[in-house]
């Protein structure tokens, strides 16, 4: 498509309680400036007069309560203003579990809730928990993570759907205050190892308990949990699988409100199961939520892993000066990862459970599995078919230093301190090349492999 040196900006006047929905196409970007009035992107307010750029196939909406004028400069995009409904509040510190089918807008609801809590001016920093391993969150796809959010979550790119975090962002960024805590599940499908999912959800819950135990203010701000669509429905998600993981979340995060987004049957199921002891609310699916297909989701995975290592700078449309990306100056957002060759023996790599095993439910009654779903199996890099080339590895926190505190399955309970990718395997010299976000040595570290891969 032909692009002139200076893209022509176009103004839109939005009526009160309406939103302008837009989709940025691959390889394109747009900049939106609030000219007059007040407006927000999924609860994050825009500052008047500042161009905000959006890229990496971002799909979002500018919403206004009281009406506003926005100016858009774009390369390729389409959209239209549509009226919207309103959200509501609660008296108790909310511990909210958001459930809903694929493309119902769960993550967007989480962002809006968090952003409104942050904007309340009470100094709240709600705990946002992501137990959807297909969503990168602040880490990479395959992780389950949680972070206390003290500033609005910006939406500007699919590469960092929940805002950039200290693990990957340069230290000068405002978003650097965000310190996520993550466990590695290693797959994007919750059905791949639901026992492990269950355990990691409970681990995250314990971590949050510890954190909030000595932090009454943190507790007041509440907990908001984003879940995968397989908790609601979807191919292969048996009722038992779903209910087990929903229960794990309710126990682990001491949920007091379940929000079901646009799914009447699930709402009835949750009312029956939990309605007597906690609040179950059904909210309608927004007409603006975009249906994301498999290939789009794969591209988004790539954007997220690339962003983890390299950061992301969205090129503003021609003619747009001093644009910001989610409120941050564009030049701050490049990262410089390190690529180093390490000896096979430097890093101990494990896989949790055997790659090819069937789920326990598929085994004949009474049959024992040779490798349990939860057993760590050492991966030998010198074996052909190790699956290491291009694999994303999670580097784990160290084991307990006190021998008396050590236990057999400790590796399952270690949190992640960073992610690396194996970019080359040299079996003859017993070396592998590792792309890492930092220069730090990996000697003596323990890593976990899953089924997720990435190639530049």
Ligand X SMILES: Nc1ncnc2c1ncn2[C@@H]1O[C@H](COP(=O)(O)OP(=O)(O)OP(=O)(O)O)[C@@H](O)[C@H]1O
**Residue 356 marked in a binding site:** no
State which residue, 250 or 300, has the beta carbon closest to ligand X. Answer: 300
Q: How far is the CB of 160 from ligand X (least distance, A)?
A: 13
Q: How far is the CB of 103 from ligand X (least distance, A)?
A: 5
State which residue, 102 or 355, has the beta carbon closest to ligand X. Answer: 102
**Residue 107 marked in a binding site:** yes
**Residue 203 marked in a binding site:** no
Q: How far is the CB of 201 from ligand X (least distance, A)?
A: 16
Q: How far is the CB of 419 from ligand X (least distance, A)?
A: 20
**Residue 108 marked in a binding site:** yes
Q: How far is the CB of 286 from ligand X (least distance, A)?
A: 4
Coil, strand or helix at 203 = helix
- CA distances from residue 32 to 40, 53, 284 in whole angstroms, order as listed: 11, 6, 28
Q: Closest by alpha carbon to 53, among 335, 326, 331, 332? A: 326
Beta strands in 77-157 (DSSP E): 77-83, 95-99, 127-130, 143-148
State which residue, 136 or 316, has the beta carbon closest to ligand X. Answer: 136
State which residue, 56 or 324, has the beta carbon closest to ligand X. Answer: 56
State which residue, 30 or 61, has the beta carbon closest to ligand X. Answer: 61
CA distance 128 to 182: 12
Q: How far is the CB of 106 from ligand X (least distance, A)?
A: 4
Residue given tokens 């990718």 in the structure block: 421
CA distance 196 to 186: 10
Q: How far is the CB of 170 from ligand X (least distance, A)?
A: 25
**Residue 76 marked in a binding site:** no
**Got the DSSP string for 268-290?**
HHHHHHHTTTSEEEEEPPPTTPP
CA distance 227 to 101: 10
Q: Are the C-beta atoms of 215 and 207 separated by less than 8 Å?
A: no
Q: Are the C-beta atoms of 302 and 454 separated by less than 8 Å?
A: yes
State which residue, 21 or 95, has the beta carbon closest to ligand X. Answer: 21
Residue nearest to ligand X (CB): 288
Q: How far is the CB of 68 from ligand X (least distance, A)?
A: 16
CA distance 303 to 297: 10
State which residue, 40 or 332, has the beta carbon closest to ligand X. Answer: 40
CA distance 235 to 396: 32
State which residue, 48 or 84, has the beta carbon closest to ligand X. Answer: 84
Q: Are the C-beta atoms of 443 and 346 separated by less than 8 Å?
A: yes
- Alpha carbon 92 to chain centroid, angstroms: 26
**DSSP one-letter code for 427:** T
State which residue, 241 or 351, has the beta carbon closest to ligand X. Answer: 241
Q: How far is the CB of 185 from ligand X (least distance, A)?
A: 16
Q: How far is the CB of 142 from ligand X (least distance, A)?
A: 14
State which residue, 105 or 152, has the beta carbon closest to ligand X. Answer: 105
| Residue ranges binding ligand X (CB under 6 A) | 19, 21, 59-61, 100, 102-108, 229, 286, 288-290, 292
Backbone angles phi, psi at 397, to 5 degrees: -65, 155
**Got the DSSP string for 39-77?**
-EETTEEPPBT-EEEEBTT-EEEEEESS-EEEEEEESSE
**Residue 19 marked in a binding site:** yes
Q: Which contacts (CB < 8 Å, 24+ apart) does range 377-382 have?
A: 377/350, 377/351, 377/352, 377/353, 378/348, 378/349, 378/350, 379/349, 379/350, 379/351, 379/449, 381/344, 381/349, 381/425, 381/427, 381/430, 381/432, 382/344, 382/427, 382/430
List binding-site positions for ATP.
19, 59, 103-108
User: Residue positions in the annotated binding site?
Assistant: 19, 59, 103-108
């Amino acid at each position: 498509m032909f692009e002139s040196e200076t893209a022509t900006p176009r103004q839109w006047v939005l009526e009160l309680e309406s939103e302008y929905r837009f989709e940025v196409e691959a390889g394109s970007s747009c900049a939106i400036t609030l000219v007059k009035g007040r407006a927000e992107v999924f609860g994050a307010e825009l500052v008047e007069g500042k161009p905000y750029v959006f890229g990496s196939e971002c799909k979002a909406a500018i919403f206004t309560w009281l009406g506003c004028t926005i100016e858009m400069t774009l390369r390729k995009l389409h959209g239209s203003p549509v009226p919207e409904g309103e959200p509501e509040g609660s008296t108790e510190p909310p511990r909210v579990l958001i459930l809903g089918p694929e493309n119902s807008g769960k993550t967007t609801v989480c962002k809006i809730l968090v952003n409104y809590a942050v904007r309340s001016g009470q100094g709240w920093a709600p705990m946002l928990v992501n137990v959807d391993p297909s969503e990168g969150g602040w880490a990479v796809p395959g992780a389950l993570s949680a972070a206390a959010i003290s500033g609005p979550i910006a939406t500007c790119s699919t590469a960092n759907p929940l805002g950039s975090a200290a693990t990957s962002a340069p230290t000068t960024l405002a978003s650097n205050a965000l310190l996520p805590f993550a466990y590695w599940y290693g797959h994007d499908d919750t059905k791949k190892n639901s026992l492990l999912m269950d355990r990691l959800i409970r681990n995250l819950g314990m971590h949050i308990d510890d954190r909030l135990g000595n932090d009454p203010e943190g507790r007041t701000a509440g907990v908001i949990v984003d879940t995968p669509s397989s908790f609601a429905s979807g191919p292969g998600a048996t009722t038992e699988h779903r209910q087990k993981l929903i229960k794990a979340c309710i126990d682990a995060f001491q949920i007091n409100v379940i929000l079901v987004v646009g799914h009447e049957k699930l709402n009835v199921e949750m009312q029956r199961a939990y309605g007597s002891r906690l609040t179950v609310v059904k909210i309608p699916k927004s007409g603006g939520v975009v249906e994301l297909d498999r290939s789009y989701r794969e591209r988004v995975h790539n954007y997220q892993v690339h962003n983890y290592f390299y950061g992301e700078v969205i090129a503003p449309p021609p003619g747009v000066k001093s644009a910001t990306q989610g409120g941050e100056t564009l030049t701050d957002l490049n990262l410089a990862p390190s690529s180093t060759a390490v000896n096979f023996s430097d890093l101990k790599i494990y896989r949790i459970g055997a790659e090819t095993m069937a789920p326990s439910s598929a085994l004949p009654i009474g049959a024992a599995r040779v490798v349990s779903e939860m057993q760590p199996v050492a991966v030998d890099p010198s074996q052909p078919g190790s699956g290491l080339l291009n694999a994303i590895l999670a580097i784990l926190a160290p084991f307990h230093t006190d021998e008396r505190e050590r236990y057999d399955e400790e590796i399952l309970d270690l949190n992640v301190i960073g992610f690396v990718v194996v970019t080359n395997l040299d079996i003859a010299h017993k070396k592998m090349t590792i792309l890492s976000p930092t220069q730090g040595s990996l000697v003596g570290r323990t890593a976990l492999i899953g089924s997720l891969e990435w190639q530049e």
